Structure 1
Amino acid sequence: MNRYRILLPVVSLAVLLGLTFWMQPRAMSYFGVNLLFNLAVPIALATVAQMFIIMVNDIDLSIGAFVSLAACVTATWLNDAPLIGLLAMAALILAYAGMGAVIHALELPAIVVTLGMSFVWGGLALFLLPTPGGAAPEWLRAIMKVKPPLVPMAVVAALLIAGVTHLLVIRAGLGTVLRGVGGNPRALTRAGWNVMQLKALAYAGAGLFGVLAGMALVGLTTAADANIALRYTLLSIAGVILGGGEFTGGKVSPVGAVIGALTLTLAASFLSFMRLSPDWQIGAQGAILILVLTARLIFARRGETT
């Protein structure tokens, strides 16, 4: 099952990529691949942020609004007054950690708290940027527009994100402990760990990657909007599950989550090539997710019977 957990998202990405190249042969080039995965980096970062929450058996319905707020901070304070912008980003990460601590201490349902916080993040984003605008810092635009040899920046960045998060979550000892919060928190308590602090740390990790997602998005779009990343909430959840994660047990796959984000990004381009109406594209993306999950369930049941 662990093998299929990563194999299925890889196969789904490969199939979609093959179909896309078949429909649009001109996409099989450096420039074409760059266009296909142009917005994959912020989506992958937001998906990793959601993964940190799902890893501790919670779910975050505010990540889209949070990424939008981080984008607004990037396009305003970080560009005009870098020190204030950095302090604001640090405050946002601490606020996310505090949200995780409060959820655990008061035994509140994360889905309700994060839904409420989405309005807080959205209100702050509107306060900072009532109308679309702002500007990306020059250094950020330069980073996002780098053109590495052989493969586009989006692919290189996705590989880096997957590698770093794999080391943090799977290989590092602290990552193992954090996954234990979702797997067996009572065992961690008996071992002397403070579960509230660990959950706050997981939420801080989500806040960090959410901030990076907002920065990457502004680096690509060169401007911001209070609603620029609202759809990232559902995309991030779908990316984690598509990549082999589960809502319980601390079972996540950082590499799979990034692949899931790439698959959903590519699915949007593929559906556009099919000239499918935007009103139907979200439903079609959901159908792709259901197909992959159905295949995973079939393999899981076969594993149980053998």
Structure 2
Amino acid sequence: MTRLFARHRILLPILSLAVLLAATFYMQPRAMSYFGVNLLFNLAVPIALATVAQMMIIMVNDIDLSLGAFVSLVACVTATFLHDTPVLGVLILAGLIAAYAGLGVLIHRFELPAIVVTLGMSFVWGGIALSILPSPGGTAPPWIRSLMTVKPSLVPMAVVAAVLIAAVTHFLIIRTGIGTVLRGVGGNAASVARAGWPVLRLKALAYALAGLFGVLAGMALVGLTTSADANIALRYTLLSIAGVILGGGEFIGGKVSPVGAVIGALTLALAASFLSFLRLSPDWQIGAQGAILILVLTARLIFTRRDGQEG
């Protein structure tokens, strides 16, 4: 059993989600319904997209401390420019993705620490967001609102979207050649360079993908909340990092799991609902979410070490 969990990292995130879901249903049986599940995972889609965005950065051995501010900026653009002047809004969002790619080039070209550069960029994104929406407001474009509130007949939209996100990112990162090379940059960039691949362009691509999923996260968030705020997604920075690690990813080596990352995001979203059912004070909920993450990571470390000793 120990070796099974160690070698198939996806099993531990799945088990964590299943245990938390069972505990939630036990405490609140009425949640075991279409409406209840939809409510539990209501905000899981933007969190999952943000987690995938962070995964793209961690995949190449960097870390993004500006993601929450970036998603907040995208939300502000979506609720204003994309709603009022769609063409200009699309151009701005495309420019933000290009800016993220440029950030990857800057970090790699000058060998700058990503953690410092992205921390600085968080203030840039936040300042631009405040200039667009000094106070909460704006309106979600009708087509985004309609998309995020679709009600499939069998399972809630949040679950359908999570499965699609996991499937698409798994195919892109695990099954395609370019995905393998991108993971190789995180594993051994020097070897990738010796094989003739342009590492600078690959880093730019990884950051561009992160920007793309960050844009999708901001748009999805506005579709659910119907408005925006310059600080609406600041907590996504830490949630996205936690989701990647909870899903079996590691900070170095290009070891990531797209499916695991989405499951990790779902687990964190469910943890918030579970803690609410416990009537835990909001001041303590963040700490409790951290405790859940530590427990899962401790279990993963134990399984890994035991497998190493048995091997």
TM-score, length of structure 2 as denominator length: 0.98
Aligned mate of 2:157, from 153, 159, 166:
153
Instruction: Let me know the Cα RMSD of the aligned residues.
Output: 0.7
Structure-2 residue corresponding to 1:209 = 213
Structure-2 residue corresponding to 1:259 = 263
How does 1:96-245 map onto structure 2 within 5 Å? Answer: 96-245=100-249
Cα distance between partner residues in 2 of 1:115 and 1:23: 39
Q: Which amino acid aligns with 1:121?
A: W
Displacement of 1:278 in angstroms is: 0.6
**How many corresponding residue pairs?**
306
Displacement of 1:3 in angstroms is: 3.9
Cα distance between partner residues in 1 of 2:87 and 2:16: 43
SS at match of 1:224: coil
Cα distance between partner residues in 1 of 2:99 and 2:282: 35
Cα distance between partner residues in 1 of 2:112 and 2:9: 30
Q: Which amino acid aligns with 2:235?
A: R
Q: Is the 8 A contact 2:6 2:300 kept in 1?
A: no
Q: Which amino acid aligns with 1:89?
A: L
**Is the counterpart of residue 91 in structure 1 residue 95 in structure 2?**
yes
Cα distance between partner residues in 1 of 2:47 and 2:140: 18
Unpaired stretches in structure 2, ≥5 consecutive residues: none
Displacement of 1:150 in angstroms is: 1.1
Cα distance between partner residues in 2 of 1:90 and 1:299: 43
Q: Is the 8 A contact 1:4 1:296 kept in 2?
A: no
Cα distance between partner residues in 1 of 2:261 and 2:25: 23
Displacement of 1:294 in angstroms is: 0.6
Cα distance between partner residues in 2 of 1:300 and 1:2: 5
Cα distance between partner residues in 2 of 1:4 and 1:250: 16
Displacement of 1:4 in angstroms is: 3.5
Q: Which amino acid aligns with 1:67?
A: V
Q: Which amino acid aligns with 1:289?
A: L
Cα distance between partner residues in 1 of 2:36 and 2:179: 36
TM-score, length of structure 1 as denominator length: 0.99
Structure-2 residue corresponding to 1:273 = 277
Q: Which portions of structure 1, spanning 4 or more consecutive aligned residues, are displaced by more than 2 angstroms?
A: 1-4
Displacement of 1:16 in angstroms is: 0.3
Q: Which amino acid aligns with 2:113?
A: P
Aligned mate of 2:61, from 57, 62, 72:
57
Displacement of 1:109 in angstroms is: 0.3
Over the matched positions of the two proteins, sequence identity in percent amounts to 80
Aligned mate of 1:30, from 27, 34, 41:
34
Cα distance between partner residues in 2 of 1:135 and 1:172: 38
Q: Is the 8 A contact 1:30 1:152 kept in 2?
A: yes
Q: Which amino acid aligns with 1:141?
A: R
Q: Is the 8 A contact 1:9 1:260 kept in 2?
A: yes
Structure-2 residue corresponding to 1:66 = 70
Question: CA deviation digits over 1:234-259, x for unaligned, max 9?
Answer: 00000000000000000000000000
Cα distance between partner residues in 2 of 1:15 and 1:46: 24
Question: CA deviation digits over 1:187-233, x for unaligned, max 9?
Answer: 11100111111001000000000000000000000000000000000
**Is the counterpart of residue 12 in structure 1 residue 16 in structure 2?**
yes
Cα distance between partner residues in 2 of 1:55 and 1:205: 11
Displacement of 1:303 in angstroms is: 1.3
SS at match of 1:111: helix
